[in-house]
Amino acid sequence: MRVRVLGCSGAIAQGCRTTSFLLDDDVLIDAGTGVGDLSLDEMTRIQHVLLTHSHLDHVASLPLMLDSVAALRLAAGAPPLLVHALPGTISALQTHIFNNLIWPDFAAIPSAATPLMRFVPIAVGEVLQVGGKAVEVLPAVHTVPAVGYAAASASGHWVFSGDTERNPAFWQRVNQLPVAMLVIETAFSNREAELARRSLHLAPSVLATELDQIDRAHRFPIYITHTKPAETGLIMDEIQRFDQTPNREADLPHDIRWLSAGMTFEL
């Protein structure tokens, strides 16, 4: 399985794209602004979109992508684009985006019987079969209904936390999986720790306690995503500081790296 990082920033700026990952060429995990760097042909090959939650930085490109490829999909007689999401996420998109006020309702275009897009409700713990890939829906703790994902590959699972704060159920399941790599958010620096807590995001100080929950027998690379552009350098410095100066004799350093758009992983 190939994982292509289209966007992994917590906001936009020059060179920064918000969250979106392309698995092989047909499954999109979140639809942030990074989708806009795909060609029309690449967008047309996407058959499944798996959303973590309804926040704009994770869904902004979904309505625009559908508009871009509508004529191509219709001309090719392609099946509806399947958008997999929690019922609460689907309800938010139907109410606030695909409502014929903000954007056309592509679930009814050209007709309700043969739409360009179809929503597929999902649940935590479900294993989705999408594009020949098995993707498990993982729990997340956020200000709106949210999930993470674990995609199985030949070398182990690609695990994505989604937007989350403290999340013991997530680590319980991660410790049961053969993890090849973990992508986890850290949106704010420690100086914004209170804002992180209120918005249910991670800051480095809380990330440190979360990573303590990884089974000590498990070792895999950990990639940091969703940093705010103005704080990325500070966040990574703070993460490096706690990871290289353990508080307890038994602490082990992790293999922590910074994720950036344009990276590709073969798993």
Give strand pairing partners of 25. Answer: none
Packed helices 232-244 and 204-211: angle between N→C axes, nearest 10 degrees: 40
pLDDT for residue 242 = 85
pLDDT for residue 250 = 55
Domains located in the chain, CATH noted:
2-266 (3.60.15.10)
Q: Could you report the per-residue pLDDT of 60-112, keeping only the tens digit for each?
A: 999 999 999 999 999 999 999 999 999 999 999 999 999 999 999 999 999 99
* Residue listed under structure tokens 């998109």: 93
Q: Could you report the per-residue pLDDT of 210-259, keeping only the tens digit for each?
A: 999 999 889 999 999 999 999 999 999 999 888 776 665 556 678 999 99
The Cα 31–Cα 187 span in angstroms is 18
56 Cβ contact list (under 8 Å, min separation 6): none
Residue by residue, DSSP assigns 122-187 as: --TT-EEEETTEEEEEEE---SSS-EEEEEEETTEEEEE--S-SS-HHHHHHHTTS-EEEEEEE--
- pLDDT category of residue 7 using cuts at 50, 70 and 90: very high
Q: Could you report the per-residue pLDDT of 157-199, keeping only the tens digit for each?
A: 999 999 999 999 999 999 999 999 999 999 999 999 999 999 9
Q: Is 9 helix (H, G, I), strand (E, B) or coil?
A: strand
Tell me how far apart the 2 most distant CA atoms of the chain are, in Å.
64
The Cα 185–Cα 231 span in angstroms is 13
pLDDT for residue 248 = 53
Residue 120 carries which side chain, given as an amino acid letter? V
**Do 74 and 106 touch, CB atoms closer than 8 A?**
no
Q: Residue 117 pLDDT > 90, yes or no?
A: yes
